[in-house]
């Protein structure tokens, strides 16, 4: 019988009871693991984080915590091949795994470096200047940030089992807050192995990181006002969790990163033959095919000037025709599988919904040529390009979480801004243009609708990280539909796990309190 995936709770690896959910290999359809948390003592995990992990982390200074984050990143880096191999079972090619696995430990390394360079000695952040509050200067105020005395429950989506976990774990560790990671069932075996590597490296104090494989019924009931929930996943689950009494009544700090209908805009200057035209086409194809389009930041809506839409369609279709779908690692394969056949069915349903007012310009949702695997047993789907008119509704409402994007024309900048706004808030947008006036107009008019905007042209392309890659130094998150959160964003992500307190006192007293805090590092 297929083995049950363990959880790491209160200092030991434990397995849940019962049948659970059997997770199938995305490529072969064979069972990989069973996932169940039935019978696990989730309350013990919460207690352990509070009574063991929290005090241990709070007793360390920022520099030591930054060292731990670096050490766990290096441990993962040394054993990355193991994670690549498991990720292949979830449908990821080597290039996809680099985004998740290398992107994960790379993010942790950046956090470690930001922590070393940007956080003070000791474990208290003194923020801003001393504010004089009385005429004589005998009464002053000062903001400080200290570690919250709770835990961070981190609920992750299936598409980034390693990166998604590490981008939440690293700032929590730096802030001195213990983590309970809850990966999505579908790829929990990849996340479990990453946690195992970290724990085997022995670089974290006990209780700093626990893992629940499977559901977490009742766990939010145990959370209180010093705790945090960081959620990544669908808008529906985000809404459910946001409405939980832990959040609405006990003020658990809650952040959501949800789905989003990200857009990319081609500037009117970027006609065929310009470097920007090619960058746009290449960027769109990369976003459609990287991780088989299962990226929260992928381009779902592609806006181009009406006059070039046929040329863009042709150029994108020509590149998509070169994509080889198949088993990760098989000869010539450039795009792997979706995470499972349920997900493929879901994407097909979404494409059908999109076709209410869009038409397929490239690809066939019902069949695909596959190299090195059975197209039906594995969760394969070829890339699908749709085209819609300016009055179409569904491209601004339906997220097909796969290799799917919709091309739409625009006639002028005002109409373009209106079209962008119909997505109701996105994680990432891009504008591909070499015209500073156009870039300025679009960026400033749509900045409030985005967490991040890339302006791409011939001058920054060589070093650009691309439309879909969040950087830990910068905001990852977005308004409205994107969840309203800011998950990454430099040291702000660390401060998010800390409490800001205004201390009011006499200047000498304040100095002595802060001095003591400094000495206690």
Q: Which of 8, 105, 158, 280 binds ligand NAP (CB under 6 A)?
A: 158
184 scored as a contact of ligand NAP (CB under 6 A): yes
Select the span of 153-161, 246-254, 411-419, 502-510 touching ligand NAP (CB under 6 A).
153-161
Region 473-502 residues binding ligand NAP, contact defined as CB under 6 A: 483
CB 371 within 8 A of CB 331: yes
Question: Smallest Cα–Cα separation from 286: which of 299, 277, 267, 296?
Answer: 299
Is there a contact between 339 and 294 (Cβ–Cβ < 8 Å)?
Answer: yes
Task: Between 241 and 315, name the residue whose CB sits nearer to ligand NAP.
Answer: 241
Sites for ligand NAP among residues 191-220 (CB under 6 A): 215-216
Asked if 254 interacts with ligand NAP (CB under 6 A), we say no
Please say which residue, 216 or 330, places its beta carbon nearer to ligand NAP. 216
User: Which span (53-61, 75-83, 158-166, 356-364) binds ligand NAP, by CB under 6 A?
Assistant: 158-166
Q: Compose the 343-382 pattern: x for residues touching ligand NAP by CB under 6 A, - for all others.
A: ----------------------------------------
User: If binding is defined by CB under 6 A, does position 257 make contact with ligand NAP?
Assistant: yes
Q: Which residues are catalytic?
A: 257, 296
Identify the residue among 36, 232, 289, 358 touching ligand NAP (CB under 6 A). Answer: 232
On whether the CB atoms of residues 366 and 345 are closer than 8 A, the answer is no
Report the site for ligand NAP in 389-408 (rule: CB under 6 A).
399, 401
In a 3-state reduction of DSSP, which class is residue 196?
A: helix
Nearest approach, Cβ of residue 163 and ligand NAP (Å): 9
Considering only 53-61, 130-138, 150-158, 271-279, which stretch makes contact with ligand NAP by CB under 6 A? 150-158
Shortest Å distance, C-beta 103 to ligand NAP? 12
Select 88 or 482, whichever has its Cβ closest to ligand NAP. Answer: 482
Contacts 24+ apart (CB under 8 A), 54-58: 54/147, 54/149, 54/150, 54/151, 54/176, 54/177, 54/178, 54/207, 56/205, 56/206, 56/207, 56/208, 57/147, 57/173, 57/176, 57/177, 57/178, 57/205, 57/208, 58/123, 58/147, 58/149, 58/176
DSSP 28-70: T--EEEEE--TT--HHHHHHHIIIIIHHHHHTS-HHHHHHHHH
Contact between 157 and ligand NAP (CB under 6 A)? yes
Handedness of CA 348, 351, 352, 353 (dihedral sign): positive
How do strand 358-362 and strand 384-388 relate by DSSP bridges? antiparallel
Considering CB under 6 A, how many residues would be counted as binding ligand NAP?
26
DSSP 273-286: TSHHHHHHHHHHHH
Give the binding site for ligand NAP (CB under 6 A).
155-160, 182, 184-186, 215-216, 232-234, 237, 240-241, 257-259, 296, 399, 401, 427, 483
């Amino acid at each position: 019988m297929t083995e049950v995936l363990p959880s790491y709770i209160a200092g030991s690896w434990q397995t849940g009871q019962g049948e659970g959910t059997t997770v199938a290999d995305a490529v072969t359809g064979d069972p990989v693991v069973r996932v169940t948390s039935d019978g696990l003592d989730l309350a013990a995990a919460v207690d352990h984080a509070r009574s063991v992990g929290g005090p241990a982390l709070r007793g360390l200074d920022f520099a030591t915590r930054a060292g731990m984050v670096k050490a766990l990143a290096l441990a993962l880096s040394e054993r990355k091949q193991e994670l690549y191999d498991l990720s292949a079972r979830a449908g990821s090619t080597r290039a996809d795994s680099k985004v998740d696995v290398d992107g994960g430990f790379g993010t942790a390394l950046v956090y470690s470096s930001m922590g070393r360079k940007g956080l003070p000695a000791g474990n208290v952040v003194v923020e801003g200047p001393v504010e004089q509050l009385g005429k004589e200067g005998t009464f002053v105020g000062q903001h400080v940030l200290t570690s919250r005395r709770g835990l961070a429950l981190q609920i992750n989506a299936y598409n980034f089992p390693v990166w998604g976990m590490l981008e939440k774990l690293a700032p929590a560790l730096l802030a001195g807050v213990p983590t309970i990671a809850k990966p999505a069932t579908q790829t929990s075996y990849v996340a479990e192995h990453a946690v195992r590597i970290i724990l085997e490296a022995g670089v974290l104090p006990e209780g700093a990181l626990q893992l629940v494989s499977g559901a977490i019924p009742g766990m939010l009931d145990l959370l209180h006002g010093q705790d945090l929930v960081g959620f990544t996943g669908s808008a529906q689950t985000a809404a459910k969790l946001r409405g939980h009494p832990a959040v609405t009544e006990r003020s658990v700090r809650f952040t959501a990163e949800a789905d989003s209908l990200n857009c990319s805009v081609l500037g009117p200057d970027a006609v065929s033959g310009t470097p920007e035209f090619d960058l746009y086409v290449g960027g769109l194809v990369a976003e459609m095919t990287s991780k088989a389009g299962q990226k929260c930041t992928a381009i779902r809506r592609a806006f181009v000037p009406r006059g070039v839409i046929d040329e863009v369609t042709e150029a994108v279709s020509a590149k998509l025709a070169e994509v080889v779908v198949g088993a990760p690692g098989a000869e010539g394969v450039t795009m792997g599988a979706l995470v499972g056949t349920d997900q493929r069915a879901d994407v097909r349903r979404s494409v059908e919904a999109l076709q209410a007012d869009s038409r397929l310009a490239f690809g066939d949702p019902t069949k695909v040529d596959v190299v090195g695997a059975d197209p039906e047993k594995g969760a394969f789907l070829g890339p699908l390009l749709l085209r819609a008119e300016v009055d179409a509704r569904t491209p601004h409402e339906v997220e097909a979480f796969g290799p799917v994007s919709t091309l739409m024309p625009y006639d002028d900048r005002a109409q373009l801004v209106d079209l962008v706004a119909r997505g109701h808030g996105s994680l990432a947008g891009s504008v591909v243009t070499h015209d500073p006036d156009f870039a300025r107009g679009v960026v400033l008019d749509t900045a409030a609708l985005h967490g991040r905007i890339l302006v791409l042209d011939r001058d920054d392309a060589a070093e650009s990280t691309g439309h879909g890659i969040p950087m830990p130094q910068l905001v990852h998150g977005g308004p409205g539909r994107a969840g309203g959160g800011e998950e990454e964003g430099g040291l702000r992500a660390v401060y998010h796990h800390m409490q800001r307190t205004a201390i009011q006192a006499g200047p000498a007293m304040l100095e002595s309190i802060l001095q003591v805090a400094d000495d206690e590092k």
